[in-house]
Structure 1
Amino acid sequence: MTTILVTGGTGTLGRLVTERLRADGHEVRVLSRRTQPYAVDLREGGAALDAAVAGVDTIVHCASSPKGDEQAAANLIRAARGAGVRHLVYISIVGVDRVPFRYYKSKLAVERQVEESGLGWTVLRTTQFHDLLVILLQGLSKLPVLFLPAGVPDQPVEVAEVADRLTELAAGAPAGRVEDMGGPEVRTLESLARAYLKATGRRRAVVNVPLWGAAYRGFRSGGHLAPQRAVGTGTFGEYLARRYGGEQARADSGRSRA
């Protein structure tokens, strides 16, 4: 078995990837800013990063931040080249090349860095995780009225299924840009928000607000969706039922696909 470094290995996705790789018998190093023995801020790099990648065969790059991703990737790639890493696997987002959203632009730039790194590489793009959608809705529902960008669809995917796919890719040979991975259903953001409110027992008026700008147009037109790659099986309703309990969320999911 191989030695694999998982960046962001304590995060929502990285933790699951780490568990699966270890269960498969790989030696796994977890890199995060605060977890020893590989506590590294990728944006700073340095000797600690060099030590973390020394002797590593494969890196699964799950770490991400609203700021500094490109510098973090540059530092990681430099260290990986110096250590003779065989394979760099990067998790990206569907639509980074179609929706001019600032964070997406940064993810696309990192993709380009990975492709031009001189390392063997694999890039997987997925739609947004159920967990991240809930974080968004938690924030929006703090007010008495839940305001949503009008006309925006979404296609959330189960993070555990993404972890399964990344584990498979990390154990294999470099594959370049692999097929996108989307959740099983495309729904309006309003329907997802109403399902969340019902599952959590919150009462909020839902108001759809037309916005402006190229990024909004990109989301509204579905640039972040992968309807032809709806390979995920876990629905948002099933996720809500598992997280909050009850059958209503499952029923809502069933109706959305009817």
Structure 2
Amino acid sequence: MTTILVTGGTGTLGRHVTEGLRADGHEVRVLSRHAQPYAVDLRAGGTGLDTALAGVETVVHCASNQRGGDEKAADHLIAAARRAGVGHLVYISIAGVDRVPFGYYQSKLAVERRIEESGLGFTILRATQFHDLVVTLLNGLAKPPVLLLPAGVPDQPVEVTEVADRLAELALGAPAGRVPDMGGPEVRSFDSLARAYLRATGRRRTVAQVPLFGRTYRAFRDGKHLAPEGAVGKVTFEEYLGRRFGG
């Protein structure tokens, strides 16, 4: 069976990728800052990274940090993967990273470019936002009595386990370059997602939409972060909410 390293293997996405690959009988190494025996901070690099990659055939790169450092982490990972003779590097990116001028998206795009130019066999999958992320955002927005939303912004949330299954499938195949984007089953207004969240959690809030300004807002409002042609996800937002909140 294939030996696979999953970076960020204890995170929201990486742990599901790890579980799926192990269930299929593959040897999976989990790399994160605190997971022994491969506790490595990718941003720092170091000899621990070479140890973790020794004998690895495929890397699934799920580790990411919205506070920065993804490019440096990718540089260290790519260099170590070359030294180890890794044959396949699979990377999870975000739909619209080349169309939305948002700092974190630009960082993800920069990592894509590094991987494409690395000389390694690679596969890049872009996905829309996970259901979990949407709920985390709404949890924060719903703290005041009025839930304020950016006016006119759509979204297409996808189930994280479905993305994990797709990544595992890609990891077991040959390098495929940039594959089609993956999105949730429905393009929805953020207003409708917020109202579904309030119903599921039993919270009473006034919902108001606020127009914003700037290139980033316009890109989100225009749906540049969506993947309507890749609406292959099956789990709807309401189904996710029902599982999470028991509705």
TM-score by length of 2: 0.99
| Aligned residue type for 1:84 | G
What SS does the aligned partner of 2:4 have? strand
Shift of 1:50: 1.1
After superposition, the C-alpha distances for 1:137-181 in whole angstroms (9 at most, x for unaligned) are: 111111111111100000000111101100000001000000110
In the alignment, which residue of structure 1 is the partner of 2:241?
Answer: 240
* 1:49-68 alignment runs, 5 A limit: 49-66=49-66, 67-68=68-69
What SS does the aligned partner of 1:12 have? coil
* 1:9-158 alignment runs, 5 A limit: 9-66=9-66, 67-158=68-159
**Distance between the aligned counterparts of 1:116 and 1:59, measured in 2?**
16
**Distance between the aligned counterparts of 1:142 and 1:117, measured in 2?**
44
In the alignment, which residue of structure 2 is the partner of 1:210?
Answer: 211
Structure 1 unpaired stretches of 5+: 247-258
After superposition, the C-alpha distances for 1:199-225 in whole angstroms (9 at most, x for unaligned) are: 001111111111111110000000001
What SS does the aligned partner of 1:142 have? coil
In the alignment, which residue of structure 2 is the partner of 1:251?
Answer: none
Shift of 1:229: 1.2
What SS does the aligned partner of 2:107 have? helix
In the alignment, which residue of structure 1 is the partner of 2:188?
Answer: 187
After superposition, the C-alpha distances for 1:41-65 in whole angstroms (9 at most, x for unaligned) are: 0000010111111111000000000
What SS does the aligned partner of 1:107 have? helix
What SS does the aligned partner of 1:89 have? strand
What SS does the aligned partner of 1:156 have? coil
What SS does the aligned partner of 2:207 have? strand
**Distance between the aligned counterparts of 2:50 and 2:137, measured in 1?**
35
In the alignment, which residue of structure 2 is the partner of 1:3?
Answer: 3
TM-score by length of 1: 0.94
Shift of 1:38: 0.5
In the alignment, which residue of structure 2 is the partner of 1:169?
Answer: 170
What SS does the aligned partner of 2:13 have? helix
Q: How many residues align?
A: 246
After superposition, the C-alpha distances for 1:66-106 in whole angstroms (9 at most, x for unaligned) are: 11000000000000000000000000000000010110000
**Distance between the aligned counterparts of 1:7 and 1:234, measured in 2?**
26
**Distance between the aligned counterparts of 2:77 and 2:146, measured in 1?**
43
**Distance between the aligned counterparts of 1:5 and 1:136, measured in 2?**
30
What SS does the aligned partner of 1:25 have? coil
**Distance between the aligned counterparts of 2:186 and 2:238, measured in 1?**
10
The runs of at least 4 consecutive aligned structure 1 residues that moved more than 2 Å come to none
**Distance between the aligned counterparts of 1:205 and 1:42, measured in 2?**
43
Shift of 1:118: 0.6
| Aligned residue type for 2:193 | L
In the alignment, which residue of structure 2 is the partner of 1:253?
Answer: none
Q: Quote the sequence identity (%).
A: 76
What SS does the aligned partner of 2:44 have? coil
**Distance between the aligned counterparts of 2:188 and 2:173, measured in 1?**
33
What SS does the aligned partner of 1:59 have? strand
**Distance between the aligned counterparts of 1:110 and 1:51, measured in 2?**
23
Provide the aligned C-alpha RMSD in A. 0.6
| Aligned residue type for 1:129 | F
